[in-house]
Amino acid sequence: MNALYFFDYVKCAHEGTWRMRQTMQDLQLPPPVFAESGAAHPHFKVVLKNNVEHRKRWLDADAKRIVGEAVFQTLTEHEMRFINYVAEFGSISVTDAVRISEKAWGTCKILLMGLVKRGILKHVHRDNVVRDSKARFTLHTAAPTPVRTIPPISPPRPKSS
């Protein structure tokens, strides 16, 4: 840790490390891991970890809000991730789903098409192309039900004689 101080990368020894530790503690995250190595070419490494369980609960809550409680109970972890991705970015491709889930392309396509069959996602693609590279999946929005406004009832008018 002294390498940054001796090379004048910090003005006060341990100022940044103290702040990192304090911030991580304030956010209730695991403490940072500091490592210094190398004699000829010193390297300084900081590892910051996040709270995966907290993030997972947050994502689950978002998916529950989007699709509703009843449907949420039937979703797999990967399907929840896909729905959160669509909610955040507007759409998802099969390639995006592969990056998110680290599953095979065919498996992700099956999962996304399953969400289409259940009415959660909508498959947007060109009909005249067999294998559409620009195909996307978006949230399926039901047609809004028209709201019928009822005029207010006015009080009866007094009869004039």
Whole-number pLDDT of residue 112: 96
Q: What is the total residue count of the chain?
A: 161
Token reading at 49:
């970890």
What whole-number distance in Å separates Cα of residue 26 and Cα of residue 7?
30
- The residue with tokens 């047609």 is 143
Distance of CA 62 to the CA centre of its chain: 8
CATH architecture of 52-139: Orthogonal Bundle (1.10)
Whole-number pLDDT of residue 53: 65
For the chain, what are the domain ranges? Answer: 2-47, 52-139
Token reading at 31:
């403490």
Token reading at 76:
């797999």
Whole-number pLDDT of residue 117: 93
Residues 6+ away with beta carbon under 8 Å from 85:
92, 96, 97, 100
Answer whether 120's CB lies under 8 Å from 139's CB.
yes
Whole-number pLDDT of residue 99: 92
Whole-number pLDDT of residue 26: 85
Whole-number pLDDT of residue 51: 73
What whole-number distance in Å separates Cα of residue 64 and Cα of residue 161?
64
- The residue with tokens 């007094």 is 158
How many Cβ atoms from other residues are within 10 Å of residue 149's Cβ?
6
Decide: pTM greater than 0.75: no
What are the mean pLDDT values of the chain's consecutive 10-residue runs (161 residues total)? 66 73 84 82 83 62 74 85 85 94 94 92 90 89 45 60 57
Whole-number pLDDT of residue 115: 93
Rg (CA), the chain: 27
